[in-house]
Amino acid sequence: MPQDDIPPSPIADLCRDKGLKLTDQRRVIAHVLSESDDHPDVEELYRRALAIDPRISIATVYRTVRLFEEKGILLRRDFGGNRARYEKTDHGNHYHLIDAKTGSVIEFEDEVLEVMLRQIAQRMGFDLVTTRLELFGRKLK
């Protein structure tokens, strides 16, 4: 996909809102991240970005991901497997179920769980600000 054909993306918009200069490479990486419905690591982001722009280097992807993380555009996640994975910060309240065997991540929302977590926080004298829940499991046979 030529650079000029890359459509606007929510992450590119966030970059602009935060005053970041949007280079061609950053625009490609922002596009790839915006289109991702999984939690890619840097190497997977690199593979996807390289398919769009063969001039992108792995070092550029690492620097861009670090910058996006510092600016609050991306969240770094550790789901095991000795590799950081990333997701957009504007993803809303959700939880992760990680397959302990394959490392695949399933996102889910659960209103009952949300209410229960708020009640637990209130019982302990807190107002729940945000949640982070990662469940690791093995598929039932």
Separation between Cα atoms, residue 110 and residue 117, nearest integer Å: 11
Phi then psi for residue 128, to 5 deg, are: -65, 125
pLDDT digits (tens, 9 = 90+) for 70-102: 988 888 877 666 677 777 766 667 788 888 888
CA 50, chain centre distance (Å): 19
Residue 107 assigned to a binding site: no
- Position 137 scores a pLDDT of 93
Q: Are residues 38 and 80 in the same domain?
A: yes
Q: Are residues 76 and 8 in the same domain?
A: yes
- Position 124 scores a pLDDT of 94
The stretches in the chain having pLDDT less than 50 are 2
Q: Identify the domain containing residue 108 by its residue range.
A: 95-137
Cβ 30 vs Cβ 12: under 8 Å: yes
Q: Are residues 27 and 82 in the same domain?
A: yes
38: domain CATH number is 1.10.10.10
* The total number of structural domains that make up the chain: 2
